[in-house]
Amino acid sequence: DIQMTQSPSSLSASVGDRVTITCRASQAISTYLNWYYQKPGKAPKLLIYASSNLQTGVPSRFSGGGSATDFTLTISSLQPEDSATFYCQQTYTFPWTFGQGTKVELK
Amino acid sequence: DVQLVESGGGLIQPGGSLRLSCAASGFTFSSYDMHWVRQLPGKGLEWVSGIVTAGDTYYSVSVKGRFTISRENAKNSFFLQMNSLSAEDTALYYCARVSRGLWGIGQYDFWGQGTLVTVSS
């Protein structure tokens, strides 16, 4: 199975800060990498697909990049509503696997 | 609007069986691969099983041989038959639609709200 490792596991930042989350795959996955966010008690929602493509309706402060084994999710200016847990996911091969999640909190 | 609604969760004793359902609406169900994803209490997301439009099925190692995924396109629904349940299967089970855009890369563009399965004596 392809292991997905996110870092950090959690972070605390202020409104307006630039935040970057990294995701590393245990083997090359091209750009078969998606990002989701999840708020407590809610289902996950798609944020970015195919490494760098913003899902419809997602604010432009979110961006993604990377290929092969190393990927990033960046929030250019953190907003209060961004408090959530973020997950990366590879869909290169079954079993599709998720990172362990990064919890983002506002200071 | 696209909607996915899970049902069938509940409290079940170890060794028991449950059948989860996911009712889809708002899109051409037969044209999409569909998956089940679970979330253990307070934990992250774990892919469980998937079924493609042609009917091929895929399972995680942890459920293979115990769970069976199926779909009924005429009823816009798909299912997860779960047998030989153990405490480790206790989780919130989500159904999700697979969208394939650029270069056929798959992602979950819609999720249900989840149905809770609790395995306990």
pLDDT of residue B62: 96
Are B88 and B73 in contact by the 8 Å Cβ rule? The answer is no
Q: For chain A, where are the alpha helices, taking DSSP H only?
A: none
pLDDT of residue A32: 96
User: Do B107 and A91 make contact, defined as CB atoms within 8 angstroms?
Assistant: yes
User: Do A36 and B108 make contact, defined as CB atoms within 8 angstroms?
Assistant: yes
The most distant pair of C-alpha atoms in chain B lies apart, rounded to whole Å, by 47
pLDDT of residue A33: 97
Place of tokens 């997301």: B45
The tens digit of pLDDT for each residue in A18-71 reads 999 999 999 999 999 999 999 999 999 999 999 999 999 999 999 999 999 999
pLDDT of residue B76: 98
Peptide bond just before A95 cis, omega within 30 deg: yes
pLDDT of residue A67: 97
pLDDT of residue B73: 97
In percent, the amount of chain B with pLDDT more than 70 equals: 99
Q: Hey, of B1, B34, B37, B45, which one would you mutate to test binding to chain A, going by the most A CBs within 10 A of its CB?
A: B45
Summarize the confidence of residues B80-91 as an average pLDDT: 98
Which residue type does B10 have? G
Q: What is the DSSP letter of B89?
A: G
Place of tokens 């490792």: A5
